[in-house]
Chain A
Amino acid sequence: DQQVKQNSPSLSVQEGRISILNCDYTNSMFDYFLWYKKYPAEGPTFLISISSIKDKNEDGRFTVFLNKSAKHLSLHIVPSQPGDSAVYFCAASGTSGSRLTFGEGTQLTVNP
């Protein structure tokens, strides 16, 4: 049972445009959500997180939106840059935070 789903395995956008990566979850006990970026042969890099008490969190070019009723979150990257090309993982945890449940990842390619 996949509790965190990223339905798009890949996404391609032009440099300077907006990238929107989506994530859905099924477990109502999740209340903390994170996005990680991963380059090949490296560990995941933490990007941004959001608590369930918020519906938006912004950090520079990255904004995460949370729709609790739809159990959906999205990551917006504006403007997209070629260096953003990587695999993006959505992750979720409950209040203890000890166990992160990851989605399958979305490969983002930003074309110059």
Chain B
Amino acid sequence: DTEVTQTPKHLVMGMTNKKSLKCEQHMGHRAMYWYKQKAKKPPELMFVYSYEKLSINESVPSRFSPECPNSSLLNLHLHALQPEDSALYLCASSQVGGGAYEQYFGPGTRLTVT
């Protein structure tokens, strides 16, 4: 099973709202990732969690707040977003340690900020 699930599939929020994106995997992977993808562009890495600890933050604005409650779950809390934050938000997971491994992506959450 190489499935990563994400909820919700679509989200529309105002600039003053607070919302959360959720991601789950049951592959036993200990690394989880958040990416942002704009139309016709490659995915851009935002955050990496390794063994439930934040290991990489790609200078993401504080209005995006990641959380990894356990090894299977990854959340992205959103607050006071801007219209330019509208994008497809992708979660991914992979094995960790001893080399490089392929990352498996979820279907994404299409976020629209109004």
Contacts and interface: CB of A to CB of B under 8 A. Distances in A.
B100 A31 contact: yes
Given A43-B105, A46-B102, A97 B90 contact: no
Interface residues of B, number: 29
A42 interface: yes
B104 interface: yes
B50 A98 contact: yes
B108 A42 contact: yes
Nearest to B43: A102
B1 to A, nearest CB: 14
B42 interface: yes
B55 interface: yes
A51 B110 CA distance: 33
B68 interface: no
B106 A43 contact: yes
Interface stretch (A67-75, A77-85, A87-95): A87-95
Nearest to A35: B102
B102 A44 contact: no
Interface in A16-48: 31-32, 34, 36, 41-46
B100 A32 contact: yes
A97 B105 contact: no
Nearest to B10: A41
Interface of A: 31-32, 34, 36, 41-46, 49, 51, 89, 93-100, 102-105
Interface of B: 2, 4, 6, 31, 40-43, 45, 48, 50, 55-56, 88, 90, 92, 94, 96, 99-108, 110
Question: Nearest 9 pairs between A and B by C-beta?
Answer: A97-B100, A102-B42, A43-B105, A32-B100, A93-B100, A46-B102, A44-B105, A43-B108, A43-B107
